Copies of this chain bind each other. A is one copy, B any other.
Amino acid sequence: MSDAHVSRTLGAVFFPNFELLDIFGPLEMFGSVGPEVRIATIAEEAGPVRSTQGPAVSVDHSFGDCPKLDLLIVPGGIGTMTEGANPRMLEFLRTRVAEAELVMSVCSGSGLLGKAGVLDGIRATTNKQFFSLVSAEGPKVEWVREARWVDAGKFVTSSGVAAGTDMALAVIGRLWGVERAEKIAALTEFTWHRDADSDPFTRYLDQGDVGEMAAALEA
């Protein structure tokens, strides 16, 4: 762990209709690492950005006013469908992914990375409920249907919502040692599912309904 003491900035990307736990589960874990991590919240414009569940985050940085990002995390949520057609979001992701040491996504966040083209030829996963819908966003991605998360080196993508928190601890373990990840899990009284390949939710594969998802976007 020669670089364990290096300070890193983690950029958390927000957009309207993001999914709360997708991002705040991982940020709980990264925010518990210590002074080695600074979290920067980012959106197209700074200020309030509302989640699908209702509560809004107060974002600190716009795309144009954003520090250098060592780590990047993209949550999912129904908003990813809209953002996949937002050229400013896709351009931001392409530019910052190129500069980053490590890029994470949770749930349908990998669909957004897929749409940006940065996952082409790379193994990745996404949520189970809307697997076909999201994976269609990145036709050249090597989608993995059964995985809690997929560690493809620079890119680490997780399955739906709660899976992102397990993935975050795995990345913390890689960057700062597994003992650090275990200590954070104990402090947060979190039962860490450490096996990336164990996915009890694959049985729900594509039980989602596109009409239902579209209706939710209208509401």
Contact = CB atoms under 8 A, between A and B. Distances in A.
Interface residues of A, number: 45
Nearest to A207: B186
A47 B20 CA distance: 18
Interface string A158-174: 01111101000000000
A12 interface: yes
A186 B48 CA distance: 29
Contacts of A161: 28, 187-190
B31 A51 contact: yes
A88 interface: no
Number of copies: 2
A128 to B, nearest CB: 6
Interface of A: 12, 19-21, 24-25, 27-28, 30-32, 38-39, 41, 47-49, 51-58, 60, 127-129, 159-163, 165, 186-191, 193, 200-201, 204
Ranked 5 nearest A-B pairs via Cβ: A31-B53, A21-B28, A24-B24, A48-B58, A162-B190
